[in-house]
A and B are shown apart, each in its own frame.
Chain A
Amino acid sequence: NAGVTQTPKFRVLKTGQSMTLLCAQDMNHEYMYWYRQDPGMGLRLIHYSVGEGTTAKGEVPDGYNVSRLKKQNFLLGLESAAPSQTSVYFCASGTGITEAFFGQGTRLTVV
């Protein structure tokens, strides 16, 4: 049982490049979430999804897009990366009423 798997684990991008972060869960969870964490800060919610085909904005959605085409996958896209998006990105999944499970993070650096 893999739980929540994030791909890739590390990435360096140049300003203006695009990329997609993949979050996959094998627990049949309806709810999935994307967070970012900057140094010394708590996690901030970017976007979330309450089921396949749905997405909603969180606290800091600007500069990101998401898609939930399959229940087990939640994709986070950066269309034109900026240095301000350098961060650690965490994905989580859950039932919405019990604990959410987090992945191990993707460390993204934009130069």
Chain B
Amino acid sequence: DAKTTQPPSMDCAEGRAANLPCNHSTISGNEYVYWYRQIHSQGPQYIIHGLKNNETNEMASLIITEDRKSSTLILPHATLRDTAVYYCIVRGSIYNQGGKLIFGQGTELSVKP
């Protein structure tokens, strides 16, 4: 299972962009990068995922480097409600790993007024 490395904590000013980095240097060619977040010990909430191209949805953007060894989650205009633990996950293949999501420690993002 590919492992990920994230900074344990980050701060961001409300209204500014939050850029959360993730290293996944052992990722395999068919493994996707997923981002989830967890607010106040609730169930994790899906944010976005990608394989090799940059992705954007209504919540965030995902930038994956060309060598796929790292990625950045961007929350374009962070609000206080974005304060949460953010998990970067390399998802196992469904063919031999059951599509497992293996969580690391995550980054605790604090959005401050």
Contacts and interface: CB of A to CB of B under 8 A. Distances in A.
Interface stretch (B21-29, B36-44, B61-69, B73-81): B36-44
B54 interface: no
Contacts of B102: 45, 59
Contacts of A35: 103
Contact of B103 (A44, A48, A97, A105): A44
Contacts of B100: 33, 45, 48, 58
Contacts, number: 60
Contacts of A50: 94, 98-99
Contacts of A96: 94, 98-99
Contact of A99 (B41, B46, B104, B106): B46
B1 to A, nearest CB: 8
A77 interface: no
A4 B87 CA distance: 20
B101 A33 contact: yes
Contacts of A88: 41
B9 interface: no
Contacts of A49: 98
Give the interface residue-count category, chain A. Answer: 20 to 34
Contacts of B99: 31, 50, 94-97, 100
B98 A43 contact: no
Interface in A8-51: 31, 33, 35, 37, 41-45, 48-50
Interface of B: 34, 41-46, 49, 87, 94, 98-106
Given A44-B103, A104-B42, 13 more contacts: A4-B43, A31-B94, A33-B101, A42-B87, A42-B104, A43-B103, A50-B99, A59-B102, A90-B43, A90-B44, A95-B99, A96-B99, A100-B101
Interface of A: 4, 31, 33, 35, 37, 41-45, 48-50, 56, 58-59, 88, 90, 92, 94-97, 99-105
